[in-house]
Structure 1
Amino acid sequence: MESKSLHPSVEEFKAFVKEHPKILQSVRKKEHSWQELYEDWFLLGADDPKWSKYKVENNTLEAVENKEREKNWVNHITRMIKNMDANQVQHHINQLSQAIGAIQGVLTQFQGSNPPPINPPTTNNNPFSFKKD
């Protein structure tokens, strides 16, 4: 697959957008279109005062990028939690508990000593049940 080279002015605009990251946010919020911003940049030039509100200092740029990454991560975790089935999670926890108990049993056999056996916890379908005294 051949990669097509972009027109030099488009390449310059891409570099300009990298220096002014708030332009990308403006397009994502549908405040402006790429076409509109490109035409303004082409006609007004990169030094026009219009672009000062889109420029971000280096330390602020890192903060914006970190905030975007954090937002994406939180959205991903939120989607995962929404898609979880509580019964499946409980089933997997019970299986894990049984596997740990089996491993403990094997380890005690290899240790040679016979400590009193640990009773496995009773499986309770409701993890939040309370017993009366």
Structure 2
Amino acid sequence: MQKNLHPSVIKFKEFVKDNPALIMEVRNGNSTWQELYEDWYLLGEEDNRWETIGVKPSPNPEKDDDKKTDWVSTILGTVQKMDPNQIQHYINSLSQALGAIQGVISQFQGSQPKQVNQKIEHKHPFSFRKD
């Protein structure tokens, strides 16, 4: 009984079937399926990362000039492909890491002796006068 898969997972499976070098990459322990899927999802099939693994680039009918002039639509397409929940998770992780770094820095700043000279004046808190 197979669950209904997300369309992007189906496309990734097709990409893997067309490029058996990915299977060897996982079997050799160099990558995990999750890493490869995330890279495929975020970077696309035409990224240079796949050439380092041994994946043959798919024939692209577009000209290189069109890609250079259409960079705005490329960026917008990439933003639309991103998973908002995963981005939120990464932002939260980054925020926690920055908070931890700030805590460490404040501890180091707090442990340094302060060189501010303070005058200690002992004044009576109440001003009573003798009659």
TM-score, structure 1 normalization: 0.39
Write 1 or 2 for the structure with the bigger share of helix.
Answer: 1
TM-score (norm 2): 0.39
